[in-house]
Amino acid sequence: MKHFFIDKYSEIKSPINDLNARAKVIIFFALILLCATTPPNAFLAFGGYYLILSGILLVSKVPLGFVLKRTVVAAPFVLMVTLFIPFMEGGGGSYNLWGLTLHRSGLIVLFNVSVKAFFGVAALTLLTSATPFNELMDGLKQMGVPKIFITTASFMYRYIFVVVNEAMRMKRARDSRNFEGKWIWQTRTIGHMIATLFLRSYERGERIYSAMLSRGYDGEVKSLGKHPIVFKDVVFITLIISLAALLRFSHALTKLISGS
């Protein structure tokens, strides 16, 4: 069974993929931060952020559909929280829609939360798609992310589909023995399967640990990754962040200029 890894497009040759992982982490987190702190009614700025992101997407050659598909995964979570806000009493006037009353302030909250949430998820999706996973981990490690997180994420990346495959094989074996009927009657079987999967993963963990010890593991996963930040990384960071910062603070800037 073949599965797609989150960084399956990271092998594409593109200027974005060639960037240092740390540079990309800095750029994307700065973008998310700037976007998240933008006032809710700065519609132009939001348009600008999405344009920047689209620009990066275009240059990175990661297919748009791939990023969109992964971004909509966040939709239920965002909408569940925000969808009802426009119906609540708030200031700023209201609109009538097929007999329902929508409040302007609530609509702005809905817009604000959704636009920022989707931007964040899309930015992170693009970051992970356009960076080989091991480089991303090396980059985060160099930036001071605790080793335990890096190690956990690396093992998850390596083993998630091994476990998924194990579960699928178990499901097949179960279905081959005429497992049917409503799931509620089968909770016992499902419980056993989960327990078995847990035990197998636990045992695998022990075997992996032995294999690590056999090759001189002493409690710390070391890596060769010493990717220096070079000139083009600095150029990219400066370019993208100053562009986004301009959008973020344009309002304040125009005020400052016209005021003085």
Partner 1 sequence: MHHNKAVEIKNLHYKYPDGTMALDDINITIEHGESVALLGPNGAGKSTLILHLNGILRGNGEIKVFGLPVNKHTLKEIRRRVGLVFQDPDDQLFCPTVFEDVAFGPINMGLTKEEISTRVNKALASVELEGFGKRSAYHLSFGQKKRVAIATVLSMEPDMLVLDEPTSNLDPRGRGKIIKILNSLPVTKVVVTHNLNEAAKLCKKAIIMDKGRIVADEDIEKVLSNRPMLEAHGLISS
Q: What values do phi and psi take at 171, rounded to 5?
A: -65, -40
Site for partner 1 in 9-38 (CB under 8 A): 11
**Stretches 38-46, 52-60, 85-93, 223-231: which one binds partner 1 (CB under 8 A)?**
223-231
Query: Is the CB of 89 or the CB of 218 nearer to partner 1?
Result: 218
Residue closer to partner 1 (CB basis): 180 or 218: 218
Could you give the C-alpha distances from 97 to 80, 85, 103, in angstroms and in order?
20, 15, 11
Both tokens assigned to 92:
């700023």
Structure tokens at 115: 């636009």
- Tell me the sheet residues that pair with 96: 101
Report the DSSP beta bridge partners of residue 101. 96
102 burial type by CB count under 10 A (0-12 exposed, 13-18 middle, 19+ buried): middle
User: In whole angstroms, how close is the CB of 12 to partner 1 at the nearest point?
Assistant: 13
**Sole binder of partner 1 in the list 14, 114, 154, 186 (CB under 8 A):** 154
Size of the site for partner 1 (CB under 8 A): 31
In whole angstroms, the minimum distance from the beta carbon of 148 to partner 1 comes to 16
Token pair 């976007």 is found at 35
* Per-residue CA distances from 245 to 38, 87, 105, 257 (Å): 10, 34, 26, 17
DSSP label at 39?
-
User: How far is residue 75's CA from residue 110's CA, in Å, rounded to a whole number?
Assistant: 12
Per CB under 8 A, the list member of 194, 208, 235, 256 interacting with partner 1 is 208
| Residue 213 within binding range of partner 1, rule CB under 8 A | yes
Q: Does 207 bind partner 1 (CB under 8 A)?
A: yes
Is residue 228 near partner 1 by the rule CB under 8 A? no
The footprint of partner 1 on residues 92-151 (CB under 8 A) is: 132-134, 137
Only one of the segments 66-74, 123-131, 217-225, 235-243 lies at the binding site for partner 1 (rule: CB under 8 A); that segment is 217-225
Q: Candidates 111-119, 158-166, 177-185, 247-255 — which segment interacts with partner 1 by CB under 8 A?
A: 158-166
State the CB neighbour count (10 A cutoff) for residue 30. Answer: 16
Give the E-state strand segments of 115-252 in sequence order.
Answer: none
Nearer to partner 1, 197 or 243 (CB): 197
User: Does residue 159 bind partner 1 (CB under 8 A)?
Assistant: yes
Residue 182 contacts partner 1 per CB under 8 A = no
Q: 106: part of which helix (H) or strand (E)?
A: helix 104-129
Which residues sit at the interface with partner 1, rule CB under 8 A? 2-3, 5, 11, 132-134, 137, 154-155, 157-159, 161-162, 204, 207-208, 210-218, 222-224, 226
